[in-house]
Chain A
Amino acid sequence: MSTAVRPAPPATDRGGTARPLPRQAGRRAVRAAALLGFVGLWQLLTSHQVQLWVRFDHLPTALQVGQAFGRQLGTGQYWQDLTDSLRRIGLGFLLAAVLGTAVGVLTARSRWAADLLGPVLELVRPIPAIALVPVAIMLFPENEQGIVFITCTAAFFPITVSTRHAVRAVPPRWEEAVRTMGGGRARVLASVVLPGALPGVVGGLSVGIGVSWICVISAEMVSGQYGVGYRTWQAYTVLDYPGVFVGMATIGLLGWLTSGAVELTGRRLTAWLPPRAGGDDPRGGRG
């Protein structure tokens, strides 16, 4: 019984292995410095009104934008815009996650579903979601629903395509293992297909959340009332340039936070995957 007493494979194999602390702190410092450097450069170029081929003399300075940001943070309107956008994206993205995963699994596992849904999906997929604004306006009684529809459509395709590929890539052996235990279709789906495809689904969700930000903001600019996109465009029409930049920074921050949340949730759910070599891996243990 030599293997029974054999020690576990090298500890580097484990999910929770911590990187040496100084290195991690060092990387954080570099990242913070990169961000500060970007803002600093912006301040320099705009405050000196640099005119190379591109002109920085019309752009608000980082400081002006910062002041405007501070002022807006104190207003109720800013927070209402923010929560409006968040609600739209939350609803649209959630719907897309459920529908996209379901359709992805269905088209990968059922020839009938692939034949029935495939052609329509392939035809609609290349249409940018934002080009659906007229359709949304005609279809839905309220703007609000139309925006959610567009956000959902935008995220739906990356999610469904990634899911379909991931389901097809699940090794047949895992399915055979469960079938030889007497498992039927539903059991194979629940115990093999869904967990096995999860890493790919998570990839689709990550792309999807990014795309849905692009589309919620664009949809708000075109047809919204309230919302960060609407406010940003509004600021531009009244020549409030710092306001435009406050909107852009808000979009950037929200996008970063939400995709970070998706990414983190995804990693928690797929903690069984071998740790990635090189990249940062904030996983704590294997959840």
Chain B
Amino acid sequence: MTLRLTARNLALGHPGHPVLHGVDLDVEPGEVLTVVGPSGGGKSTLLRALAGLLRPAAGELLADGEPVRGPGADRALVFQDDGLLPWRSVRRNVELPLAVRRVPRALRGAPTAEWIGRVGLDGLADRLPRELSGGQRQRVQLARALVGEPRAVLMDEPFGALDAQTRAAMQRLLLSVRERQRCTVVFVTHDVDEALLLGDRVAVLGGGTVAAVHEVPHPRDGARRTDPAVLALRERILGSL
């Protein structure tokens, strides 16, 4: 279950002075597209538009060829933080997409428990979000995003507020989870290394538009970080930011 997301000459923000303009972007079904750019450069804006939370000021935004008219369960959104409902336990947060879709209570338990286990939170299902660490909360968000089997997951700097070690663990978790569920991923980050580590392709925002899209020239394995071609690309992207 994947989704193709397409932007055609897209402008976002106020029509007078848009945050982004002239955006042409194709997110291929099943790929991980990472988006980097300077802060305030419109990364989150683009992601929110893909989620259907923002109406384009101009241009077109298509999901599998159909215009995006609003948010929908086919495109799950993961926030940097505070995306969990604080009065709901881990379990009840994770099952929320199923509840919204009116899946009968009896059928919610199994997938919910499965995803809580998959993100490594077994035994914490009854905790409230405030009783978790930042990394654990992001695990809950990941489980919540994926439990509903969306066709695309949109992630807005999901690991941006985590310490380096936790962030590395979350990156590994995201990749391993994707082995099971091959949905399209759009991953916004300000960290070029993270973008190069996770992405099949990296889109670079600059000057209020998508300045470039680079294929990462090495398979996603342990040697990716040290591949000279990847390192050269890293320098190029850093130079352009």
Contact = CB atoms under 8 A, between A and B. Distances in A.
Interface of A: 1-4, 6, 8-9, 13-15, 171, 173-174, 176-183, 187, 191-192, 195-196, 198, 270, 272-274, 286
Contacts of A9: 131-133
Nearest to A5: B120
B128 A3 contact: no
B85 A8 contact: no
B219 interface: no
B52 A180 contact: yes
Contacts of B51: 176, 180
A227 B192 CA distance: 73
A274 B132 CA distance: 12
Given A177-B77, A182-B72, A191 B100 contact: yes
B165 A2 contact: yes
B73 to A, nearest CB: 3
B85 A173 contact: no
A183 B77 CA distance: 13
Interface in B142-167: 148, 154, 165-166
B100 A274 contact: no
Contacts, number: 102
Contacts of A1: 120, 169, 172-173
A178 B131 contact: no
A181 B148 contact: yes
B100 A181 contact: yes
B64 interface: no
A8 B136 CA distance: 9
6 nearest A-B residue pairs (beta carbon): A4-B120, A182-B73, A3-B135, A272-B87, A180-B77, A181-B97
Contacts of A178: 96, 100
A176 B101 contact: no
Given A13-B130, A181-B148, 10 more contacts: A3-B166, A6-B135, A8-B131, A174-B85, A176-B79, A177-B84, A179-B70, A181-B73, A191-B99, A270-B87
Contacts of B99: 191
Nearest to B154: A180
Nearest to A199: B87
A112 to B, nearest CB: 20
B3 to A, nearest CB: 13
